[in-house]
Structure formats: C-alpha cells, structure tokens
Amino acid sequence: MLGLSQVGVTVAAFCTQILLARTLPQSAFGTFSAALAVMALAAPLVVFGVSELWLQRFGLEGHAARRWVRPSLRLVAGLCVGVLAAALVWSLAGNSDPAATSVRALLTSVIVAQVGLTLVASAQQLRGDYRGLSVLQVAPHVGRVLVALASWAAGLSVVAVAAGYAAVALLTVVACIAVMRPFVAGTMPLDGHRDTAPAAITDVPLSRVVTAATPFVLGNVFYLLGIYLGTIVAAEVLGPEAAALLAVPMAVITAAYLVPRVVYQQYFLAKLHRWAHGDRDAVLLAYRFGTSGMVVLGILVAGLIALGGQLLPILLGPGYGETAAVLAVLALAVPFRFGGAAVAALLTSGGLLRRKVVHQGIGALVLLAALAVATPMWGVRGTASATVLAEGALCVLFWVTARRHVVRGGDLPSWHDLRRRLTRGSPSAS
C-alpha cells in the first residue's frame, strides 16, 4: 500500500508541476514555487520533531508513551500560531507585487496541512494502519492536481491557484483531526505491543518534550534544506525564471526521495526502534541488505530519471529547454540519498541521533557554501551540482559513523541468514 501511494504521489506531483508550468507565466510559476518551498521549510519548525519523538517513545515504552502525546500537541499548537504569524508578516513585508503577496499569504495554509499529515503519519505507523496512511498521503496531491487542471482549463491566475491549494490544505487538516482523535484519546491499538494500557498516566513536562524533540526537528530542517534551499537561492540570486527552471526537476527528485522516506520513515523506523533494544541480528540485517539494496535501487532510479528527463522540454514548452540537463545533474544525487537514508535510520534508532543531526548540519553547511559559489558562477546547473555535492558528503558521513558505532564488531549476516529470518520471522518485541 505504501508503494502504491508512492506511485500516486509521484505521478500527481509531476502532473501538477507540468500543468502549472504550462499554464502560468514563467515568472509567476517561479514565484509560486519559491513561496511553496518556504512554507515547506517552515512546517518542520512547527512539528518540532514530535512525529519522530512519538515513534521513538512508543517503541521504547509501549502504551505508557501516551504521557508524551498531549504535551507535545500543546507544543505544536503554540509553535503553529507563532510560525503562521511570522509567515504572514513575511508575506506582507518588503514585496511590492500584490499577486506575490497574496500567493505567499494563501500558501501559509500549507504549513498547517503538512503538520497534520506528519503527525498522522506517525500515529498510523504506530497503529500499523498502512492503508489509511497511504490514502492520506495521496489525497492532498490529488486535490492539487484538480486545482492545476482547473487552472489549465479555465486559465486561472496564480492567486487563484494559491487559493485552491489553501482549500485543499483546509480539507486535509479536517481529515487529519478526525484520524488523530483515537490516538489522542489513547484508545488506538499499537502494532507490536500488547493491547494493554496503564490505568493512570501522568503527562511529562513540556520542557522535557522540547529537550527530547530538539534533535529531531533539527534533522527535519536540515533534510528539507537539501530539497528546497536550492530553489529559494535560485529565486533570490538568479530571479523567478531561474527558480521555475529548477522547480520541476526538483519536484521529480523530491518524488524519488520519497521512496527511502516511505521505506524507513513510514515503515521501518518504528520497528528499528524496537529492534535496537533487543534484536541485534535484525539491525545487522538492516545494515547489510538495506544499505546495499537502497544504493542499487538508487542507481536504477537515477538512470530512469536522467533518461526520462529528456522529455521535460517537450512537456513544459518554450523557455524550459535547460530542465533536461538540470535534472540529469540532480539525478546523480539519488544514489547518495537512498544509501544515506538507510544508514541514517540505523543512527536514529541506535542511540546516535545527536551525531546524525550534527552530520546533517555539516551537510547543510556544505550545501550553503556550494550554492554560494556555484549558483552565481554556473546558474541553475551550478545549483544542481551543489545539491549533488552536499548529498555525497552527507552519505559518506552517515556510512562512516554507522560502520564505527552501529555494526562495529558485528558478524554481518549472509543471504542464508536473511532467508532464514524472512521464513521464521522475528521474536516478539512487546
């Protein structure tokens, strides 16, 4: 189900970008894409790592981890108010173009929708409801496709498109609230844990939630910087037309990046947290076959992306001739991202979260420095090259740390061990 939803998200995101690029003027599309990138970067500040914190705490404590839920939701609600206010101020300040101001203000709704989806994703993982998670992942993208189709058919303005995105975001928030209610009430069963809950639970202090979640939020911000910072820098340094040239290739790459994110963040991470505290054989299997498998898959996906990218100038029309070359460069980052995601999940679940976040911070600094040099010198292709360099550096850091601290001294399993594990299953981890 997660795989099918991944296909749906990929196709929907690609179709949306193509329709908007063909419908909107290039400068308007660049303005829209840059504003959407800023909102996507603001969302993890609101979530504040709470979604990953839930996976960690429920993996360790089972039903007793309910004591983390309400305080963390209060934290998210407070941050949401502050970030939305800041986003609205940014929308209104220093912009003489009324259309750009309206687009930015309307797209602030995307922050709330993304927060809701992120929290629901963790709740659905803990429940083991991957079908529901899959539907929620696809639904907002289908809504955006409908908005893009309306724009293409009726010639809507960029402000009208942003209003459509805001309506989709509102419906998404309503659906997320409905799904979250059993989880918040403590009546939701937990996958991999006995169906018993403590009679009385005392909530943890809010300060403890902040301390525990801080590494997760930093990791999320650094992750999204790698995806959206290039578009923002291109818009500021080279202009909205350059941001438009980068937006569609980055949408394709972002869709490809969802593959390791689905595999590890939405399926394996809760399990890895359990395995890290009592099933070392499973951890070694995840390292031995997860990393090599993801790198091979990443190479295959990169090749398909580079070949398929030759169609972009045909699909997008005049003014987008450089997109094929930009996407070919960006495709080189895919194997690094796939392999890095596999070892990063082991660091997260293996008690090395802070070290992982430090590495992500170093990767963000590498990206920022590379963008500062390459974007003014080589334009959009330089921006793409800087992204590849940062992904490669981050993958190497993750891999070296995993070798030294996660699997050091371990007897790496063979194919026979993998077949035996898959046949016999794993010990119960309640």
d(CA 124, CA 117): 10
Averaged pLDDT for residues 2-11: 74
pLDDT in tens, 338-354: 999 888 888 876 678 78
Q: How many CB atoms within 10 Å of residue 296?
A: 13
Report which of residues 266 and 391 the model is more confident about: 391
d(CA 71, CA 91): 30
Is 199 within the bounds of a domain?
A: no
* pLDDT number for residue 39: 86
**Where do the DSSP E strands lie in 186-271?**
none
Is 427 within the bounds of a domain?
A: no
Is 360 within the bounds of a domain?
A: yes
The pTM is what?
0.67
Averaged pLDDT for residues 39-56: 85
Contacts of 372 (CB under 8 A, 6+ apart): none
The encoded tokens of residue 235 equal 């818009």
Of 233, 236, 235, give the one whose Cα is nearest residue 225.
233
Average pLDDT taken over every residue of the chain: 83
Is 232 within the bounds of a domain?
A: yes
* Structural domain harbouring 209: 2-193+204-420
Is 428 within the bounds of a domain?
A: no
* pLDDT number for residue 429: 40
Report which of residues 195 and 251 the model is more confident about: 251
pLDDT in tens, 367-390: 999 999 999 999 999 999 999 999
Averaged pLDDT for residues 96-115: 87
* pLDDT number for residue 132: 80
Is 341 within the bounds of a domain?
A: yes
* pLDDT number for residue 270: 67
* pLDDT number for residue 301: 93
Task: Tell me which of 150-164, 195-209, 288-302, 317-331 is least confident.
Answer: 195-209
pLDDT in tens, 158-216: 999 999 999 999 999 999 998 888 888 877 777 666 655 555 578 889 899 998 888 88
Is 198 within the bounds of a domain?
A: no
Whether the pLDDT of residue 423 is over 90: the answer is no
189-203, 231-245, 248-262, 323-337 — which one is most confidently predicted on average? 323-337
- If one counts the domains in the chain, the total is 1
Q: Decide if 254 contacts 230 (C-beta within 8 A).
A: no
Is 243 within the bounds of a domain?
A: yes
d(CA 74, CA 209): 10
Percent of the chain at pLDDT exceeding 70: 88
Averaged pLDDT for residues 25-30: 86
* pLDDT number for residue 95: 62
Q: Decide if 260 contacts 291 (C-beta within 8 A).
A: no
DSSP notation for 331-357:
HTTHHHHHHHHHHHHHHHHTT-HHHHH
Whether the pLDDT of residue 288 is over 80: the answer is no
Report which of residues 102 and 411 the model is more confident about: 102
pLDDT in tens, 113-164: 999 998 988 888 888 777 888 888 888 889 999 999 998 888 888 999 999 9
Report which of residues 166 and 258 the model is more confident about: 166
Percent of the chain at pLDDT exceeding 90: 27
d(CA 193, CA 271): 11
Contacts of 17 (CB under 8 A, 6+ apart): 247, 248, 251
Whether the pLDDT of residue 333 is over 90: the answer is yes
Of 71, 22, 26, 64, give the one whose Cα is nearest residue 50.
71
* pLDDT number for residue 16: 87
* pLDDT number for residue 427: 44
Confidence of residue 413 (pLDDT cuts 50, 70, 90): low
Report which of residues 123 and 410 the model is more confident about: 123
* pLDDT number for residue 430: 36
* pLDDT number for residue 421: 64
